[in-house]
Amino acid sequence: MKFLSKILPIVFLAYACSGPGDSRLAADHVIYGGPIYTVGGEGTAEAVAIKADTILFVGSKSDAMSFVSDASNVIDLEGKTLIPGLVEGHAHIMGVGYNLLNVDLREAKSYNEVVAMVEERAKNTPKGEWILGRGWHQDKWDEQPESMMKGFPTHDLLSERVPDHPVWLRHASGHAALGNAKAMELASIDGNSPQPDGGEIFMGLNNQPTGIFNETAQGLVGSAIPQNTMESDRRALKLALQECFKNGIVALHNAGSGPNNIKLFKELAQKDELDLRLYVMLNGRDEELLDEYFSKGIEENLYNNQLTVRSVKLYADGALGSRGAWLLKEYHDAPGVHGHNVMKMEAIEEITARAYKAGFQVCIHAIGDRANREVLDIYERTFKLYPEDAPKDPRFRVEHAQHFHPDDIPRFSELGVIPAMQAIHMSSDRPWAIDRLGKERIEWGAYMWQDLLQSGARIVNGTDAPVEPINPFPSFYASVSRRTLKGTPEGGYEPLQKMTREQALRSYTLDGAYGAFLEEETGSIEVGKWADLVIIDRDIMTIDEDEILSTNVLLTMIGGEIVYQNME
């Protein structure tokens, strides 16, 4: 692609000599007739021409029309808006797919509703077969159930209404899950079960399990659930891909993949059925997988630029909601509690060094200020320790990067570290996050987008789907408004940290591409880049903030190929 952009001036020279009848210059698509935001170059344009998988021309409509031939597909936007294809900077694509296969509990407004949804599914599921669900969150419920233990519901109602199927319902945070009696029976969990390291089986007053398992304790029941098969994975992945295209996502950074998933990605990519530009982070807990890749090296832009494997996902801490985020000072609402690391920091440092030497990017989950500091320290030491092995441009990342000590904010740009942040998390979490952190830490250290940008950092945006829906527009809205999806508070939380619309669009396009080393190839509408584009039904750069949430994708194009279309 870099090669192509270099030879383009020669193409134009040839054009000048040979005239518009030359079929080499006939565009496959010409788009005009509405606002076009290019992100790179001039910022806006009147028209775009596309040839094969590449952007051939960006500029005035009259010039673009000279590339039209009989075979060209001419798209008049009729006032609709064209933007670069969107980059989902942190998601779990198999989770997105399985969420579509499993019971989706995100919209449930009460525990009763959760139970009713599972009961409904049980009617069409053979007895004894597992029913899996994900996405419930008690803070999103309008009413709390009668029976609660440590802020979570108990399994009693679920077990009473769904007695014959083992049920396993993962919390929206991914850090806890609820099992019914049948599930616990199959997993041999009872009042005598020992507590695991790094997790907890919640026990009730009678010292019997309440059904809630957090952090590593989830594995106690999880291991009793039959493994996903390659066939169910394939079904889930295909659903997830459609979900991406429907939402204008052209590239996705998959935050942790095991060997089976990578095999599946390759299988689909090889058949040219992936279409999405998938950027894979290796699951850093899989030592064998790391050994394999660290010895064979990165895999870049395989199968017509659909698949890249060049990064490693690691975990420094947990989440704020379950007080698993690792803080420098105690939780505001839990004296003496600081959260904790979830992997040994020595192990993280060792893997980071090996990845660095092998040319892999490292992406570490860090939410609390302590975790963020530890990760930045590890990165800094790694860069200093191995100068002779240094890749020129490691672009190490911190996933989530939600809460910092103010001293650590400039370190991101100083070290060239990318904060991969999901603006929508601020919108969903900020109303209760203040309980965890208190006013001062929320104001000076949480979701610090503008401070990071001002210090020179490049933010990669996203949703952490399926934690949040993969729809990018609520996250774009959160980026610029810092409000909840209900529109509160009016002026936004900590409004000085809002992104401008230009910054927000960039975080979802060009800087998302930068986070995957693809900023020369995609992320903006510029000549020579891949034709990764999205048409949306409104101008998100100028409309009222509230209207952003209703944005619909009308067309998604990846490498010149239309993968989704919903235009009248």
**255 touches Zn ion (CB under 5 A):** yes
Nearer to Zn ion, 241 or 465 (CB): 465
Q: Which residue's entry shows tokens 């579509």?
A: 100
Beta carbon of residue 351, minimum distance to Zn ion (angstroms, whole number): 18
Q: How far, in Å, CA of 379 to CA of 352, rounded?
A: 8
Beta carbon of residue 171, minimum distance to Zn ion (angstroms, whole number): 14
Please compute, for residue 411, the number of CA atoms within 13 A of its CA located in the half-sphere on the CB side. Answer: 21
Applying the rule CB under 5 A, the residues between 107 and 146 that interact with Zn ion are none
Beta carbon of residue 316, minimum distance to Zn ion (angstroms, whole number): 13
* Residue 186 Ramachandran class (φ > 0 left, ψ -120 to 50 alpha, else beta): alpha
Q: CB under 5 A: which stretch of 274-282, 284-292, 462-470, 472-480 binds Zn ion?
A: 462-470
| Helix, strand, or coil (residue 361) | strand
| Helix, strand, or coil (residue 347) | helix
Beta carbon of residue 318, minimum distance to Zn ion (angstroms, whole number): 12
x-or-dash string of contact with Zn ion, 206-245, rule CB under 5 A = ----------------------------------------
Nearer to Zn ion, 464 or 532 (CB): 464
Nearer to Zn ion, 178 or 281 (CB): 281
Nearer to Zn ion, 305 or 463 (CB): 463
Please, what is the angle between helix 472-481 and helix 423-445, to 10°? 20
- Residue 469: asked if its preceding bond is cis (omega within 30°), the reply is no
Nearer to Zn ion, 106 or 121 (CB): 106
Helix (H) / strand (E) element for 32: namely strand 29-37
Amino acid letter for position 17 = C
Q: CB under 5 A: which stretch of 104-112, 293-301, 454-462, 463-471 binds Zn ion?
A: 463-471
Beta carbon of residue 66, minimum distance to Zn ion (angstroms, whole number): 47
Q: CB under 5 A: which stretch of 199-207, 254-262, 418-426, 530-538 binds Zn ion?
A: 254-262
**521 touches Zn ion (CB under 5 A):** no
Task: Give the CA dihedral 539, 545, 546, 552, nearest 10 degrees.
Answer: 30
Q: How far, in Å, CA of 448 to CA of 300, rounded?
A: 32
Q: Name residues whose C-beta falls within 8 Å of residue 547's C-beta, 6 or more positions apart in sequence.
A: 538
Beta carbon of residue 244, minimum distance to Zn ion (angstroms, whole number): 16
462 near 88, Cβ under 8 Å? Answer: yes
Nearer to Zn ion, 49 or 421 (CB): 421
Nearer to Zn ion, 39 or 478 (CB): 478
Q: How far is CA 6 from the centre of its chain?
A: 33
50 near 27, Cβ under 8 Å? Answer: yes
* Residue 560 Ramachandran class (φ > 0 left, ψ -120 to 50 alpha, else beta): left
Beta carbon of residue 56, minimum distance to Zn ion (angstroms, whole number): 37
Q: How many residues sit close enough to Zn ion to count as binding (CB under 5 A)?
A: 2
Q: How far, in Å, CA of 87 to CA of 83, rounded?
A: 12
Query: Considering Cα of 147, then 153, then 157, then 159, what sign does the dihedral take?
Result: negative
Beta carbon of residue 355, minimum distance to Zn ion (angstroms, whole number): 18
358 near 377, Cβ under 8 Å? Answer: no
**464 touches Zn ion (CB under 5 A):** yes
Nearer to Zn ion, 255 or 533 (CB): 255
Q: CB under 5 A: which stretch of 53-61, 140-148, 252-260, 415-423 binds Zn ion?
A: 252-260
Q: Name residues whose C-beta falls within 8 Å of residue 168's C-beta, 6 or more positions apart in sequence.
A: 130, 131, 132, 133, 177, 178, 179, 183, 221, 222, 225
Q: CB under 5 A: which stretch of 6-14, 81-89, 459-467, 525-533 binds Zn ion?
A: 459-467
Q: CB under 5 A: which stretch of 121-129, 131-139, 312-320, 460-468 binds Zn ion?
A: 460-468
Nearer to Zn ion, 169 or 366 (CB): 366
Nearer to Zn ion, 349 or 464 (CB): 464
First to last CA, the chain: 33
Q: CB under 5 A: which stretch of 253-261, 300-308, 344-352, 485-493 binds Zn ion?
A: 253-261
**364 touches Zn ion (CB under 5 A):** no
* Contact set with Zn ion (CB under 5 A): 255, 464
